[in-house]
Amino acid sequence: NALLADGLKGVKRIPLDAALASGHVKEQDLVQPFVEGLADIVDMAAIQKAGLTLGVDPLGGSGIEYWKRIAQHYNLNLTLVNDQVDQTFRFMHLDK
């Protein structure tokens, strides 16, 4: 919290290439374990066998790439109805 309060002035930054070359940072795929783990809580085989045509709207979020991998991994007939990431969340309406 002190670093945030100070505007991150005490945080030293280095370029990504330098960080990766340092040996202290490694790239790791976090999507695939999530995709594979779905079968532990959802009967993905039943969904696949049902032959459903699925439409998914990830609502402009980062889940877009997850849905692509889910469809591929489980051989689902899945269409992303909106594949645009919207960091502004303008698709969300103000609650009144």
State what percent of residues in the chain have pLDDT above 70. Answer: 100
pTM above 0.85, yes or no: no
Instruction: Decide if 82 contacts 56 (C-beta within 8 A).
Output: no
Percent with pLDDT over 90 in the chain: 71
As a CATH number, domain 29-80 is 3.40.120.10
Q: Would you kindly state where each structural domain of the chain is located, as residue ranges?
A: 29-80
Q: What is the DSSP string of 1-44?
A: -HHHHTTTTT-----HHHHHHTTS------HHHHHHHHHHHS-H
**Model confidence pLDDT, tens digit, residues 5-20:** 999 999 999 999 999 9
